[in-house]
Every structure is written in C-alpha cells, then in structure tokens.
C-alpha cells in the first residue's frame, strides 16, 4: 500500500505526542550551553600599535646600512623576542600560567604563551621610489597579548612592546657597527696591500731601471745614435789608417839625415853610414861604390872617433819595412821589388844582431831621437799623431760597442719587463680603485652609524600603547547562548523525528486506514480522568516554572557576564530612537 503524504496536522500530532521529550532534550542542551557560556573563563586582550617611521634625513643625503624590509626585520625581531629565555623571564616576572605550570611541561607552557601573543602587520599601498611601481609595504604593526587577568595582560603587552623597541634599536645599531667594522677592516687590508704593491713596484723599477716600458723609445733613439757614432768612428779609424799608411810610404822615401858635404864630420859620418846601408842592400861588398863609401866612413871615424852605426841600421830597417808595406798594397809577396826589399831588411837585421845589444839600443835611441831631416821629422810626427788618434778612436769604439750591447740587452728585456710591470701597475690600480670605493662606503657607514646613534634613522614609534582591557574578547557569550538555543531546538526536533520514524504504533485515522486498508467509520477521542487532568496541570506548572527560571537565569547571565541590563536597555532605546527618527 502506498504511503500517504503527511500534512501539518500530522506534524502537529507528532509534536504533541513527543513534546515532553523535545522539551526535556532541548532544555538540557540549552542549559549545558548556557552553563558553558556563563562559566567559560573570560579572556582579555591588550594591544599596542607601533608605527614604522622613516628616517628623518632623506635617504638621498644619508643612506642607512640597514637595507632589509620592515616586515622581514619585524619577523626577525619576533624570533628573538619569542625565544625561550625571554618568555620564561616574562612568565616568572608576572607569574603567568600558575595552574598550567603545575600540570604542563615548560615547552607546553611556552607554546601556550606564544599562541597568546599576536603580531599583525599593517600594510599600505605605496610607490617604490627606486622603481616607481606601486607595492604593498608594511607601515605599522600591532602587538597583542591575551590572558585571563586584565592587569597581567596589559603589563605583559607593555613588556613585549619594550622588547620589540629595544631589539629593533639594538639590531639596527649592531648592523651599523658590523658594517662599519667590516668596511674599516677591508680598508686597512687594502691599504696594506697598496703599500706592499707600491714597494714591489719601486723595487721592480729600481731593479729594471733601464728596461722600463716608458724608456723603450729612449733606448731605441740612444741605440740609433750609438750606431751612428760607431759608423762615424769606423770611418774616422779607416781614414786615420789610410793617412798613416800614406805617411809611412812618404817616410820611407825620406832620409833621417841630410847629404850636404858642408856638414860637420860627425853629421857627414852619419849620412855616409846611411848611404852605406843602402849600397850594401843593393850591391855586393866588392862593388866600387861600396868600397868607396866604406873608405870614407873609415876616414871620418878616424877623424871623429869610433861611432856605432847600429842606430842608422835600425832607421834603415824601419824605412825599408814602410816601403815594403806600401809595395804589398800593389804587388804580391813574390814580386821582385818586394823580394829585393826582403833581402835588404834581412841583411840589415843580421848586421844589427852582430853588434852589442846595449850599444845598439842606445845608438838606436840616439838615432831615433836625433834625426836632422825636417821633412822626415814632420812626417814621423804626423805618423805618431795618427797612431795616437787611432788608439783613441778604437778605445771610443770599444766603449760605444759596450753601450750598444747594453742598449740591445735593454730592448730585449723590455717585453718581459713590460708584462711584469703592467701586471704590477694593474694590480696597484685595481687595489687603489677598490680602496677608494671601500673608503667612500666607509665614510657613508660612519655617517649611518652616527645616524643610528642619534635615532634619526628608521625606527619604531608607539602610536597606541597597551591599555587595561575593560571587556573580554572571548568567549562571545551571546553567540554561545544563541548557538545553544539553536542546537537545543535541533536536538529536540531531531530526536522527535527519529523516534517517529522508528515508532510502529497506530496514531489517528490515517494510521488506521494505512494499517487496515480502509478508512474508519468514526473516531472516539481520548477521555482523561481526574488524576490525568491533575497530572497534566502539574506538568504545565512545572514547565512554566522551568521556563521562567531559564529566562531569569538567562537575564542574570547577560547582566553579570556580558552587559548590565540597564546599560543594555538604554542602548536598545537609543537604537530604537535612531531607527524611528531615520
């Protein structure tokens, strides 16, 4: 048989049958919720609002060494403030969580306190001065603490606020000091490095003073000049040697002594001896001219005394050698004229060897020092001057060759010296540039350090200090009461619906019709006796009394735990007046 649709009367009948159960369950749930709302411990909250104030001096003039964002710095400070030692000190100082410390561990108590500390960042849309783009920046933050004792909550909030302020000042000062110390140490290190590089560069210059790159052009010009001087001196030496050869050839054609017969016997004797040497070089000893010259020499020797002719022979040998040197420039050593001169020189040398070496030396010296032919003396003087000039030029040439070798060595060493010199200069320039950069930053860091000491930089400023909370922030007792009422109705109605769905009893004509398959002809209502009527009245009185008690308890709870009734009444009147007037 199909199930018939239920209408309002069916629900009403079910409610009447289950009203006692619904009332009991709903009242029980509501009372439990009301008790929870009444006896739930009140939680108070004290908050402080702290503004992040920018530095007083424009950043373009003085740049701070603390470059982190405010939100990052606040989170870092929170980690330090909420460290275990700080929280334990606050707990001990204000005797917090007395009951929980007896049954919970220290870590659980600290975790509970951390949960009761609130940190809310206040952001605003600002324009980034560096990029010119809008961005969200933290301009302030709110610090709060929750607890059951309003006085303790305010004191702990004040303590936390002081810790945040002190930690911010300490962190900024430490950051400025660390930056200055680092830059100062780096500046000293670079100064020592620059001093060391300057010393190395000075030693290098002193060691390679002549091979430095800047002297390369000078060394090239000096080398070219030296080469030109060497070429000139070579030409001068060749000219002097040619002059000497020419003078020797001229000297070979002259006689040291003249042949004037009017000369004194001694001079005449010397001239005859010279002539005699020439004759014996050409002819044999038996030649008439040789015999005649020999007789004249013997007569003059008797007249003037014995005179040694070794000096004349040496002069003759020297003259013959000069003449031979001249011929060798034209002919070979086998030419008849050269061979003839060789025989004459050998004959004269043999004659000189037969005389006493000491007498020969003295006579040669005397003969060499006392020639009487002016032309001979003049040419011989020119030859000696040419020899002196040649020796001087050769000495100067050797000196120039030494200089040339020195300049060549300098130019050879210059590329290697230039590499090392450039490396030292580059290191010195880099170190100097880095030192200048670090020194400029050091000055800025020193100014920023003074900025933090004078509290002119970015700082925390108290906008609203923690105040003594007058009302708890939790629990929300009206909301709990309302939720308890809604939950109570739901539980009662739910129980009734569940009980009706599981009840197989027959109630009313529709149930009979559904059970037997036919509608009843008539229904007889239930007739209550006197006892049942009295019981019903007692239940009604009990329900009315319970309802009144619940209402009284509710108003008492509102008066004592939320808001006084008179205050609530005046607020309601003002609200109504506002609504009516609008």
pLDDT tens readout for residues 370-379: 555 677 777 7
Its pTM stands at 0.50
What pLDDT, in 10s, does the model give residues 325-365? Answer: 777 777 777 777 777 777 777 776 776 666 544 344 443 34
Nearest to 276 by CA among 261, 293, 298: 293
Q: Which residue has the tokens 């990052």?
A: 72
Mean per-residue pLDDT for 21-27? 80
Whether residue 145 contacts residue 116, with contact meaning beta carbons closer than 8 Å, is answered with yes
Mean per-residue pLDDT for 56-71? 62
| Phi and psi at residue 528, to the nearest 5° | -80, 145
Asked whether the predicted pLDDT for residue 308 surpasses 60, the reply is no
Is the Cα dihedral 357, 358, 359, 363 positive or negative?
positive
pLDDT at 359: 40
- Residue 164 CA to residue 574 CA, distance in Å, equals 43
Asked whether the predicted pLDDT for residue 4 surpasses 60, the reply is no
pLDDT band at residue 158 using 50, 70 and 90 as cut-offs: very high
Higher pLDDT, 82 or 130: 82
Question: Between the CA of residue 435 and those of 148, 169, 186, 194, 478, what are the distances in Å?
Answer: 60, 30, 8, 9, 71
Higher pLDDT, 115 or 353: 115
pLDDT at 417: 79
- Residue 52 CA to residue 141 CA, distance in Å, equals 8
Mean per-residue pLDDT for 436-451? 81
pLDDT at 144: 92
- Residue 350 CA to residue 329 CA, distance in Å, equals 26
pLDDT at 65: 55
- Residue 253 CA to residue 271 CA, distance in Å, equals 15
| Phi and psi at residue 81, to the nearest 5° | -65, -40
- Residue 212 CA to residue 224 CA, distance in Å, equals 18
DSSP state of 42: P
pLDDT band at residue 261 using 50, 70 and 90 as cut-offs: very low
Q: Which residues pair with 143 in a beta bridge?
A: 48, 119
- Residue 131 CA to residue 551 CA, distance in Å, equals 65
């Amino acid at each position: 048989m199909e199930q018939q649709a239920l209408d309002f009367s069916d629900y009403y009948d079910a409610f009447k049958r289950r009203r006692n159960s619904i009332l009991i369950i709903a009242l029980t749930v509501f009372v439990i919720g009301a008790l929870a709302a009444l006896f739930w411990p009140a939680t108070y909250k004290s908050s402080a609002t702290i503004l992040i104030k920018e530095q007083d001096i424009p950043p373009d003039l003085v740049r701070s060494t603390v470059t982190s964002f405010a939100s990052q710095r606040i989170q870092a400070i929170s980690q330090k403030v909420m460290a275990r030692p700080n929280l334990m000190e606050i707990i001990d100082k204000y005797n917090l969580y007395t009951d929980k410390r007896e049954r919970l561990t220290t870590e659980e108590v600290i975790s509970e306190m951390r949960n009761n500390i609130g940190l809310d960042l206040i952001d605003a849309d600002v324009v980034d001065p560096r990029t010119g783009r809008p961005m969200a920046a933290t301009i302030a933050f709110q610090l709060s603490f929750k607890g059951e004792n309003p006085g303790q909550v305010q004191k702990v909030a004040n303590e936390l606020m002081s810790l945040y302020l002190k930690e911010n000042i300490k962190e900024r000062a430490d950051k400025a000091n660390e930056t200055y110390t680092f830059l100062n140490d780096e500046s000293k290190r670079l100064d020592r490095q620059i001093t060391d590089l300057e010393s190395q560069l000075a030693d290098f210059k002193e060691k390679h003073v002549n091979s430095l790159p800047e002297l390369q052009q000078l060394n090239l010009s000096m080398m070219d000049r030296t080469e030109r001087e060497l070429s000139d001196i070579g030409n001068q030496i060749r000219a002097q040697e040619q002059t000497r050869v020419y003078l020797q050839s001229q000297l070979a054609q002259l006689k040291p002594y003249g042949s004037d017969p009017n000369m004194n016997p001694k001079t005449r004797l010397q001239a005859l001896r010279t002539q005699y040497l020439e004759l014996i070089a050409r002819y044999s000893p038996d030649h008439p001219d040789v015999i005649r010259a020999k007789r004249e020499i013997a007569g003059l020797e008797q007249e003037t005394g014995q005179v040694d002719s070794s000096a004349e022979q040496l002069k003759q040998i020297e003259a013959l050698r000069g003449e031979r040197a001249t011929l060798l420039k034209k002919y070979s050593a086998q030419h008849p004229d050269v061979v003839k001169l060789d025989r004459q020189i050998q004959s004269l040398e043999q004659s000189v060897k037969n005389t006493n070496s000491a007498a020969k030396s003295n006579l040669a010296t005397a003969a060499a020092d006392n020639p009487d032919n002016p032309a001979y003396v003049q040419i011989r003087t020119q030859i000696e001057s040419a020899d002196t000039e040649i020796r001087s030029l050769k000495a100067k040439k050797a000196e120039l060759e030494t200089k040339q070798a020195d300049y060549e060595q300098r130019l050879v060493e210059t590329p290697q010296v230039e590499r090392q010199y450039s490396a030292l200069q580059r290191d010195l320039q880099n170190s100097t540039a880095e030192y200048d950069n670090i020194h400029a930053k050091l000055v800025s860091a020193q100014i920023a350090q003074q900025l933090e000491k004078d509290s002119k930089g970015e700082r925390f400023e108290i906008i609203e200090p923690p105040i003594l909370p007058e009302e708890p922030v939790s629990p929300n007792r009206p909301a709990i009461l309302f939720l308890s009422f809604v939950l109570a109705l739901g539980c009662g109605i739910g129980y009734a619906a569940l009980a009706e769905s599981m009840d197989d009893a027959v109630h009313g004509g529709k149930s009979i019709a559904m059970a037997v398959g036919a509608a009843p002809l008539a229904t007889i209502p239930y007739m209550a006796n006197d006892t049942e009527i009295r019981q019903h009245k007692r239940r009604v009185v009990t329900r009315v009394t319970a309802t009144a008690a619940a209402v009284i308890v509710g108003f008492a709870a509102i008066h004592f735990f939320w808001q006084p009734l008179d205050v609530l009444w005046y607020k309601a009147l003002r609200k109504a007046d506002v609504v009516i007037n609008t």
